[in-house]
Amino acid sequence: MTEQIKKVKSHNRYPDELKRKIAKEYLSGAASYAVLAEEHGLRDKDVAKEFVKWYRRKCELAGENEPHMPEKKGPEPKGDEQSLKEQIKELQKRLALSELKVEALETMIDIAEGQLHLDIRKKSGAKQSKR
């Protein structure tokens, strides 16, 4: 009998620093999986998603409850007029991104409702079903 040798697929190995960087960028809300994959030359967004899972597992093993996720607060007000103008621009950018996100989510719900022929949004004043 001949012994069969198990072939192992050669996966692309990425350095831990890159995985950590991508995971932190995603968790901070700086970019989506797709954007991060494109920026860092990854195969697709699923690779970036796996990096985030890897990072979360690594944090759990290290005894941390949650990965470091900075709170999304606005910049602290500064005294001079120039810095206030910069803060206004930053807040306007954040507002525009938030509005785009809401629009994208609304569109996604509309498409899902059309394809699945289900009402996903809760109707206001809808009565609760009795059990």
Going by pLDDT thresholds of 50, 70 and 90, the confidence category of residue 71 is very low
Does 3 have pLDDT greater than 90? no
Sign of CA dihedral 64, 65, 66, 68: negative
pLDDT of residue 14: 85
Q: Kindly report the CA angle at 56 between 52 and 61, in degrees rounded to 5?
A: 145
Q: How many residues make up the chain in this entry?
A: 131
Predicted confidence band of residue 87 (pLDDT cuts 50, 70, 90): very high
Q: What pLDDT shows up at residue 109?
A: 87
What's the token pair of residue 87?
Answer: 């803060």
